[in-house]
Structure 1
Amino acid sequence: MIFLDNFMALFLESAPWLLLGLVMAGLLKVFVPMSWMNQQLGGHGLKSTVKAALFGAPLPLCSCGVIPAAIGLRRAGASKAATTSFLVSTPETGVDSISVSYVLLGPFMAIVRPIAAMSSAILAGLLVGKEEKQVVSGSENTSIEGCCSQSVAPVTSGSSCCSSRTSKPSEGVLKKTQAGLVYAATEMLDDTAVWLVTGLVFAALIQTYVPDGFLASWGNGLLAMLVMMMISVPMYICATASTPVAAGLLLAGVAPGAVLVFMLAGPATNIATLGVVAKELGKRALVGYLGGVLGGALIFGYLVDIAVMHFNIAIVPQIGPEHELTPVWLTVSTGALLGLLMVISITKKITVRMMKAPKCCS
């Protein structure tokens, strides 16, 4: 019963942000030209990776909402490196989480947090981009969604076969918006629904069966950071929602460096995100993704502890009354809508598989 309560609480908490991410992904597909996206984020070098990190850092999307948005970027022409950078920086920080960090954790952590998030995002993007460069041999960079591999008529300069299919000059804004929303609620959700539910189940299990004082009992040092990392990987927590937890850990005596590891690794390495990365970018990219996120978190956690000790920086968390991030009516309505869409998506998948399954008897 407690598990179901935790699962429902997590689902309702993430529903508004997940729907926001789906809507952004759908609108991105129909409104952003393929040629522009390829120009900005299609490269494999440092420039596009940094752009993606800067683009994603201020967005108020959590670990749930960033998944469809990142897939939308990838399918709009972004490289694996840029997609990875965006996928890491967006859930680890944001204008909302920075403001909450300033209130609850103080100015030092509010400044360090986005810097560490963007740095780990760039590191992860470069690691994935290094693998991508080795794989790309002139054909993979034109097969993001497979549409360009189909037989299509030649297109005019400045566009691609993908962009010509999704954007017609004669279409109005309203029609494009409708097409983007339909895409988000069907094809995009079909690709993420199972992993999102899986991530929420793992998070609910941890909330239910991991004791409240377990994290705080490990205290300081590298071991504390590793424990925080191991616990954070399967968790399903947003950057903003992780801030009060981080403040509680600081009050319990956990070192600032270990707390920073928790705030970086938690939002970016949940089961749902890792599953989508493996599916959309490949298993080799998943290794680079984890290396960048976890390696960056450990490096900055270590540096923060050194800075706090060397410069005698006082970090005094203050936990006030908790406030809901979204109104109750919005949480419930978006949760109901998302649940209905997920049921339709998963039911459709099961039906298709059953129809394709070979029959033992004629």
Structure 2
Amino acid sequence: MEYLSIFVNSLIDLSNAMAPYILFGLLFAGILHEMVPQTLVTKHLGRESISSVIKATLFGVPLPVCSCGVIPLAASIKKSGASRGATLSFLISTPITGVDSILATYGMFGWAFTLYRVFTSMIVAMAAGILTNIFDKEEEVVKPKFSLSPMQQPAAQSCCSTSTCCSSSEETAKFSMKKALKYGFVTLLGDIAKPLFWGLVIGALISSLVPQNLSDILVEYSWLSYLIVIAIAVPMYVCATASLPIAAALMLSGVSAGAAFVFLSAGPATNTVTIGVVKNMLGKRSLYIYLASIVFGSVIFGLGLDYLFASLDINPKSILHVEESAGWIAAISSIALWTFVLYFIVKPYLKRAKA
């Protein structure tokens, strides 16, 4: 019973931490879908090119969205025609940074550390997107070998002969909040409900099994600190801003700046929920590239940070300017999210029962 109680508490804490960001992400995705023309996404992010990856990365950097709030946004741009590489770049760059996180990082770690974090996250995101475009290309639609005769051609070309047809198709549709909410909370949430459910459950299991004296372990086994941090950061949910006090606490406990940086990079970029959704949305190969890019990129840049600190003889603790919060909004958001998720999971079974 004790373990069950710990698991339930971990699930509640995890849900409370994630729910507001997921719901905000769904709302933002719905509004984005209504305001941004699908042709714009297809034009700039639809090609399997380096430029589309760079644009997706730069688009994601300033957005104040966490690793779970970014899921509906990524699903939205993917549905609108973005390539797998661009979608993956967006998925990585967005949660690691964000205007709120950048400002918080500056306030806690200073401008040099902040620039390093932003710059390296962009490199990791771009690398993942480019690798995805190379090794996980979209399947091309096979065109029919036969051609239609002129008499069989569709009459779409004559559309402009009638003024109503062309004016309605080219006229910019008016913004509809109802359609935005329906797209975000019905279409998108319906797509990610199942992986979101299992991600929350598995994440709670992992969170309940992580030892409380984590910092002591990392200091004692410093040569293993990178691997231990990666093993914990990848599946665990922590947003970019919330990861800052944890990283600061690790550094104050004696953990290297590089290992703390790995947590700051890999923690917000991924978790069990995002992993499940990436697999479901982009496929296994993109998932492997996604995880490999984050793991190797975080470790390489973490080692680079340690090298810089050592060569410049900087004590990691000296850069710290070391707060927390929670509330009823998180609890209400969690209840709302679970209501939506359970509804979409149970819905197919209810339909079968009626049939």
Return the TM-score normalized by structure 1: 0.83
Residue 73 (structure 1) aligned to one of 68, 73, 77: 77
Are the structure 2 counterparts of residues 353 and 257 from structure 1 closer, same or farther at C-alpha, using a change threshold of 3 Å?
A: farther
Structure 1 residue 206: Cα displacement = 2.8
Q: Give the residue type in structure 2 aligned to 1:350.
A: Y
**Matches of 1:67 and 1:153 in 2, distance apart?**
39
- Shift, 1:3, TM fit: 2.2
Residue 97 of structure 1 and its aligned partner are, at CA, apart by 1.4
Question: For the structure 1 residues 112 and 186, does the alpha-carbon distance in structure 2 shift closer, same or farther, using more than 3 Å as the test?
Answer: same
**Contact 1:202/1:235 (<8 A) preserved:** no
Show the counterpart of 2:88: 84
1:81/1:170 CA distance change after superposition, 3 Å: closer
Shift of 1:202: 2.6
Query: 1:25–1:260: structure 2 CA closer, same or farther, 3 Å change rule?
Result: same
Partner residue, 1:172: 174
- State the 1:88 CA deviation: 0.4
AA aligned to 2:306 is D
Report what 1:189 is aligned to: 189
Q: Cα offset for 1:183?
A: 1.8
Cα drift, residue 109 of structure 1 = 2.2
After superposition, the Cα gap between the structure-2 partners of 1:300 and 1:353, relative to the gap in structure 1 and judged at 3 Å, is farther
In 1, distance between residues paired with 2:99 and 2:183? 28
8 A contact 1:260–1:297 mirrored in 2 = yes
Do the aligned partners of 1:7 and 1:200 also contact (CA within 8 Å) in 2? yes
2:252 matched to 1:251?
yes
Is the contact made by 2:24 and 2:69 (CA closer than 8 Å) also made in structure 1? Answer: yes
Does residue 113 of structure 1 match 2:117?
yes
The answer for unaligned runs of 5 or more in structure 1 is: 141-151, 158-163, 357-362
Superposed displacement of residue 139, structure 1: 5.0
Aligned position for 1:336: 335
Matched, 1:276 2:280: no
C-alpha separation in 2, matches of 1:25 and 1:349: 24
- Shift, 1:51, TM fit: 1.0
CA shift in 2, pair 1:75/1:228, >3 Å? same
The match for 2:131 is 127
Aligned residue number for residue 294 of structure 1: 295
Larger radius of gyration: 2
Residue 325 of structure 2 is matched in structure 1 by: 323
In the alignment of these two chains, the number of paired residues is 331
Output aligned runs, 1:141-156, within 5 Å.
154=156
TM-score by length of 2: 0.85
Give percent identity, aligned residues only. 38
What is the aligned partner in structure 1 of residue 57 from structure 2?
53
Shift of 1:319: 7.0
Distance 1:338 1:198 in 2: 14
The structural deviation recorded for 1:61 is 0.7
Q: Are the aligned partners of 1:127 and 1:289 in contact in 2 as well (CA < 8 Å)?
A: no
Asked if the contact 1:216–1:249 (Cα under 8 Å) also holds between the matched residues in 2, the reply is no
Q: Post-superposition shift, 1:138? A: 5.0
Deviations 1:232-286 (A, max 9, x none): 1210111111111111111111111111111111122211111111111111111
Residue 316 of structure 2: SS of its match in structure 1? coil
1:347 equivalent in alignment to 2:310 = no
Tell me if the contact between 1:58 and 1:94 (Cα under 8 Å) persists in the aligned partners: yes
Partner Cα separation in structure 2 for residue 56 and residue 156 of structure 1: 40
Contact 1:28 1:73 in 2 (8 A): no
Letter matched to residue 206 of structure 2: I
User: Deviation string for 1:273-332 (max 9, x for gaps)?
Assistant: 1111111111111111112111211111111111110112343265754234xxx34323
Q: Which amino acid aligns with 2:136?
A: E
Once the two structures are TM-superposed, the CA of residue 104 in structure 1 deviates from its matched residue by 2.5
Deviation at 1:137, TM superposition (A): 3.5
Deviation at 1:170, TM superposition (A): 7.5
Shift of 1:335: 2.5
**Structure 1 residues 38 and 111, CA gap change in structure 2 (3 angstroms):** same
Equivalents in 1 of 2:231, 2:158: separation in Å? Answer: 51
Contact 1:57 1:90 in 2 (8 A): yes
User: 1:10 maps to which residue?
Assistant: 14
Name the SS for the 1:172 alignment partner.
coil
Maintained 8 Å contact 2:262/2:299:
yes
- Measured in 2, the distance between the counterparts of 1:65 and 1:168 equals 32
| Residue equivalent to 1:62 | 66
Contact kept, 8 Å, 2:196 with 2:277, in 1: the verdict is no
Q: Within 2, Cα distance between the matches of 1:153 and 1:352? A: 39
Rounded Cα–Cα distance in structure 1 between residues aligned with 2:156 and 2:256: 60
How well do the aligned residues superpose, as a CA RMSD in angstroms? 2.6
Q: Render the CA deviation track for 1:52-71: whole Å, top value 9, x for unaligned.
A: 11111111111110111100
Query: 2:330, 2:130 → 1: CA distance?
Result: 37
What code does the residue aligned with 1:349 have? P
Per the alignment, in what secondary structure is the counterpart of residue 186 of structure 1? helix
User: Structure 2 vs 1, CA of residues 303 and 14 (structure 1 numbering), >3 Å: closer, same or farther?
Assistant: same
2:213 counterpart residue number: 213
Please tell me whether residue 204 in structure 1 is matched to residue 204 in structure 2. yes
Deviates more, 1:314-323 or 1:304-313: 314-323
The Cα offsets for residues 5-27 of structure 1, whole Å up to 9 and x where unpaired, read as 22112212211111111112222
8 Å CA contact 1:199, 1:236 repeated in 2: no
Q: Quick one: which amino acid aligns to residue 323 of structure 1? A: S
